[in-house]
Amino acid sequence: MAKNLVIVESPGKVKSIGKFLGRNYKIEASVGHIRDLPKSKLGVEIENDFKPNYISIRGKGDVISNLKKQAQKAEKILLATDPDREGEAISWHLANILNLDEKEKCRVTFNEITRNAVADAIKKPRGIDMKLVDAQQARRVLDRIVGYKISPLLWKKIKKGLSAGRVQSVATRLICDRDLEIKNFKPEEYWSITAKLKRKNDKKVFEAKFYGDEKGKIDIKNEEQANGILDDIKNEIFKVKSVRTGTKKRAPAPPFTTSTLQQEASRKLGYTTVRTMRLAQQLYEGIDVEGEGSVGLVTYIRTDSKRISDEAVKEAAGYIEKKYGKDFRPAKPKIFKNKSASQDAHEAIRPTHMNLEPHLIKGSLNNDQFKLYKLIWDRFVASQMTSAIYDTVSASIIAAGYIFKANGSKLKFPGFMAVYIESTDDEKPEKETEIPILEKDEILDLKSIDPKQHFTQPPPHYTEASLIKELEEKGIGRPSTYSPTINTILARGYVEKVKKTLIATDLGKIVNDLMRQYFDDIVDVEFTAQMENQLDEVEEGKKEWKSVLRDFYPNFKKELSEAEEKMKEVEIPDEESDVVCDKCGKYMVIKQGRFGKFLACPAFPECKNTKAIIEEAGVSCPKCGGKVLIKKTRRGKNYIGCENYPECKFMSWDMASDQKCPECGNFMTVKYVKGFKKYRCSSEKCEFQKEELRSKKKSEV
């Protein structure tokens, strides 16, 4: 019989940790939280200094009974939940139900599930860190008060099932504000002038961009101004005024934190935050690797730290020198600084075993796991490599008193770029541009000069990646909250995803307007960031957790009381459609239901007529000739189907294209797969299909 009981959070870790510890240890999982605030009521005694009333979570009875049973048999109990606030709180709740003293040395943590890390942790148990627990309690109680006090007001005014929350409401506001900014954006005209030049007796042409004059930069606002400059330059010589050569370095990006992993997985792999975190959790908990057994491949995945352990730095240095050579290993290890002390508790996300290169274990991973593991691996290795070095040339060229500038750069030494280059949201990678080595006072030949009209562009809609970046930069939420926040606002219908962009829905705009009007603090970015800082201070032992609630609640209570009174007078108008009710003749209005928008008669309850909103695909059914409609499943996935369903059962998960089948004349469906458009005839009787390369849109500058 095992003498020691080790309790982890996830069943996925049981096998890996059990393999390391052997027969004297029994490994059990709590399967997440075992106690929480009740769902049926507030569960916080506000008048009793915000005392939380925790209860066992419904459905966890068998888990709790088993843990108690195993605890009675064990000589020693070790709580090995995740090494963060949430994990510390779970251990505290476990200690409570198992009658363990929180000061007793029963808590162990490890940043990676490897033999050495687990063995070292088991040797150094500690008491439960109540600073971490209190920071989690403060967040939980704060979020419960906000959610349970405001949400009922939204139910009364709009519809059941809505919710408000500190982080989700701010995220919704950011998206609504961005949508409004785009809508109200007024493009401004500007012009560029590009001269194509070459040296005497040289065929190679290079570009020089108009900059201004010897007094400084000149912005060209319109065609008249551009033409004036062109007239001045006409028949003038282009002479090199100055030349400067040099080198510049490009440093590698730091290893991944939770947010940068989510951003980069979205940009490079097209993964949603939920998908990324699910896969990362699998890599952290343990994968059955051929010849190795169950192995935790990456360190803990919920972190905002860029720190790397000394041991990992040494391993990486040895790997880099062996694989790429001494020139690729920096003389001093790369150190990436964190903003605050609270971020230094963990390491960044990195591989746990430098001998398990992605290509060596590809057969033990599914395709998604392999891609994410390789991304983490490449980013970590690159972060520990030398900077890339570019040779640079910049020249100022003068014509009729105007300055044109030509800049060139050529990669001299790739450094970290031999392994990995970070993506950006605007997807404009640094390009090498070569220009010849020019000499001062040299006369150049003008081959052509090109004036071009441009218009300023509005900021882009948020994507999951760019929203996470914005939340992190503004100090909203923490590593564990980014993915659930985006998931929540999508599930509530406040935001919808159109291709990769996040767009506020009408419902989201209505909720945001009400929140801004009546609960301005809750959706205020700076206020929310200050609250996050206070939670960090609780974790660092600088602030008592209930004082955060005492400071917050009086003003919130006042706002809540005023909102309850004033919102009685608020009427939210329905959007009128052009569809006439076939029962009473009134124009039907658009309502938001559980599964999306639908049409309803405004004369309700006298007239209870409702209709689905029909979106036509613009093609005829290949079976019966009826109209083909764009429909949605209950989960929101689009498909096309015949208007005559159920008599005609035509449907397709692929969308209708504007192309017709060359063999039978029916419309073709299309889907996008890895850079290709795949067309297929919509008729079951015809097997014609074809593929085309997917053309990339060129965005205007």
C-alpha closest to that of 255 among 379, 438, 402: 379
* 456 neighbors 187 (Cβ within 8 angstroms): yes
Q: Which residues contact 459 (CB under 8 A, 6 or more apart)?
A: 178, 181, 182, 185
Please state, in angstroms and rounded to a whole number, the distance separating the CA atoms of residues 288 and 15.
Answer: 10
* Cβ contact 598:613 at 8 Å: yes
- Of the candidates 188, 163, 198, the one whose C-alpha atom is nearest the C-alpha of residue 487 is 163
Q: What strands lie across the sheet with 610-612, from one edge to the other?
A: 575-580, 587-593, 596-600, 610-612
Side-chain half-sphere CA neighbours of 439 within 13 A: 4
The amino acid occupying position 424 is T
382 vs 313, 560, 578, CA distance in Å? 12, 51, 58
What number of other Cβ atoms are within 10 A of residue 567's Cβ? Answer: 15
Whether the CB-CB separation of 481 and 225 falls below 8 Å is answered with no
Q: Cβ contacts of residue 38 below 8 Å, gap of 6+?
A: 53, 55
Strands 402-413 and 216-217: unpaired
What distance in Å separates the CA atoms of residue 502 and residue 494, rounded to the nearest whole number?
10
Whether 300 is catalytic is yes
Q: From the CB of residue 365, how many other CB atoms can be counted at a distance below 10 Å?
A: 21
Closest Cα to residue 601, out of 592, 610, 612, 593? 610
Q: Are 608 and 591 in contact (CB under 8 A)?
A: no
Nearest CA-CA partner of 132 in 163, 92, 184, 166? 92
Name 504's bridge partners.
495
* Cβ contact 128:106 at 8 Å: yes
CA 357 to chain centre: 26
DSSP 503-521: EE-HHHHHHHHHHHHH-TT
> Hey, what are 487's tokens?
């998931």
N-to-C CA span, the chain: 70
- Dihedral of CA atoms 37, 40, 46, 48 in degrees, nearest 10, equals -70
| Torsion sign across C-alpha atoms 427, 432, 434, 439 | positive
- Whether omega for the bond prior to residue 460 falls within 30 degrees of 0, making it cis, is no
> Residue 137: which H helix or E strand, with range?
helix 130-157
Beta-carbon contacts of 125 under 8 Å, excluding residues fewer than 6 positions away, are 78, 105, 106, 107, 108
Which of the residues 300, 390, 420, 462 is marked catalytic? 300
Cβ-based neighbour number of residue 264 at 10 Å: 22
224 Cβ contact list (under 8 Å, min separation 6): none
Strands 25-29 and 4-8: parallel
The residue written with tokens 């503004």 in the block is 474
* CB atoms closer than 10 angstroms to residue 235: 7
Hey, which residues are catalytic here? 300
